[in-house]
Amino acid sequence: MALLDVRHLTKRWPTGRLALDDVSFEVKEGEILGLLGHNGAGKSTIMGITLGMVRPDQGEVRIGGRSVQKERDRALRQIGAIYEAAVFYDYLSGWQNLRVFCSLSGWWDEAEVKRVVQIVNLNRAIHHKASTYSHGMRQRLALAQAMLPEPKILLLDEPTDGLDPEGIREFRELILHLRKHHGMTIMLNSHLLAEVEQMCDRCVIIKDGKKVFEGPVPSQEKTRRMFQLETGDIGLAREILDRAGATMDKHGIVEVPLSMEPHELVAALVRGNVQVGAWQPHRRTLEQLYMGLSSKS
């Protein structure tokens, strides 16, 4: 079931620049979806529209079946978000900051706040002033405020931006923990391929305001069976593979159709007198997918 449904979003800035061009995708319950694209591709604009902070020229976003554009308050009750850089009131403590943000949701439950603070591992510093927090602690505080009060879906805009490698790892583990143990649905937005690859189940790639890909993150693909074929008889091999219903790209990556087993395909190649130098499983990386899409467009 789609918890978040982005439908035909189009947005042109007053300067005339087209920020989004008919972008549609959905986030299913319990999944982590990565929104990937270069700087200025339109990822944050999608986030802004999803939170009702940016008005689309066309299209709408539905959260749990409710349109953000038509009933924003009700739709946003199901969401927790970090939108752009998380900035806190430095003169207040982490706890007071949470109180300010939660007050807008008309909610405050000390026990639940303490539980979330524990999850994000801020319990020792929560009563210190936010001005004393490191960047990593601020991100964790931002995550805590997004998790209160119990959203169904988390929207995270560049959540690891500016974090050191250790901070990125901690944050990644936290996100995966939230999905695994709290069943959280998450949409995160990033230009870091490795981050999306390691955290997300599916990804949407945006390029110059257009969606150029929506599907599983390659490393998470379980249904596609890809193999690297090394042979000197490329032409002959392609002929036999075509006949068998398999495809091979220019780098010798063969995708085996579901109707046959990989060893049957190798047998067919050998029977057809193709000298098979090597045949090994191949995992496509997100980087290869992303760069492939970039070079195509």
Partner 1 sequence: MTLFLQQWHGELLKLFGRKRTYIGFGAFVVLQILVFLLVKKFGLPTQRIIAGAGENVDYYLSALTVASFVMGVSVFLLGALFLSLVAGDIVAKEGEDGHMRLLLARPVSRFRLLLLKYLTCTGYAVFLIQFLAWTAFLLGIMLRGWGGGYFALVPEVSVVAFYDWGPGLLRYALSSVFLGISMTTISSIAFFLSCFRIKPAAATIGALSYILVDFIIRTGGFMDSHQHLLITKHMAVWGRVLAETIDWPLIWRGYAVILAVNLTLFTLGYAVFESRDLKS
Instruction: Candidates 22, 57, 73, 264: give the one binding partner 1 (CB under 8 A).
Output: 73
Site string (105-144) toward partner 1, x via CB under 8 A: xx-x---------------------------------x--
Residue 77: half-sphere exposure toward Cβ, Cα within 13 Å:
7
Cβ 111 to partner 1, closest distance in Å? 17
Measured from the CB atom, is 83 or 279 closer to partner 1?
Answer: 83
Instruction: Candidates 2, 18, 53, 174: give the one binding partner 1 (CB under 8 A).
Output: 53
Instruction: Candidates 36, 41, 81, 248: give the one binding partner 1 (CB under 8 A).
Output: 81
By CB under 8 A, the residues from 181 to 220 that bind partner 1 are: none
68 touching partner 1, by CB under 8 A = no
By CB under 8 A, the residues from 11 to 50 that bind partner 1 are: 44-45, 48
By CB under 8 A, the residues from 143 to 182 that bind partner 1 are: 145-146, 155
CA distance 160 to 164: 8
50 token code pair: 């999803």
Cβ 41 to partner 1, closest distance in Å? 14
| CA end-to-end distance (rounded Å), the chain | 32
Which of these ranges, 89-97, 187-195, 215-223, 231-239, lies near partner 1 under the rule CB under 8 A? Answer: 89-97
Cβ 172 to partner 1, closest distance in Å? 22
Number of residues interacting with partner 1: please give it, by CB under 8 A: 41
Which of these ranges, 68-76, 118-126, 132-140, 202-210, lies near partner 1 under the rule CB under 8 A? Answer: 68-76
Q: Are 27 and 185 spatial neighbours (Cβ–Cβ below 8 Å)?
A: yes
247 touching partner 1, by CB under 8 A = no
> Using CB atoms within 10 A of its CB, is residue 14 exposed (0-12), middle (13-18) or buried (19+)?
exposed
Instruction: Candidates 40, 65, 85, 287: give the one binding partner 1 (CB under 8 A).
Output: 85
212 token code pair: 């150029």
Cβ 284 to partner 1, closest distance in Å? 34
Please state the φ and ψ torsions of residue 288, each to the nearest 5 degrees: -65, -40
Instruction: Candidates 82, 147, 246, 248: give the one binding partner 1 (CB under 8 A).
Output: 82
Which of these ranges, 95-103, 119-127, 226-234, 270-278, lies near partner 1 under the rule CB under 8 A? Answer: 95-103
Instruction: Candidates 58, 103, 118, 275: give the one binding partner 1 (CB under 8 A).
Output: 103
Measured from the CB atom, is 113 or 274 closer to partner 1?
Answer: 113
Report the interface residues with partner 1, using CB under 8 A: 44-45, 48, 51-55, 72-77, 79-89, 91-92, 96, 99-106, 108, 142, 145-146, 155
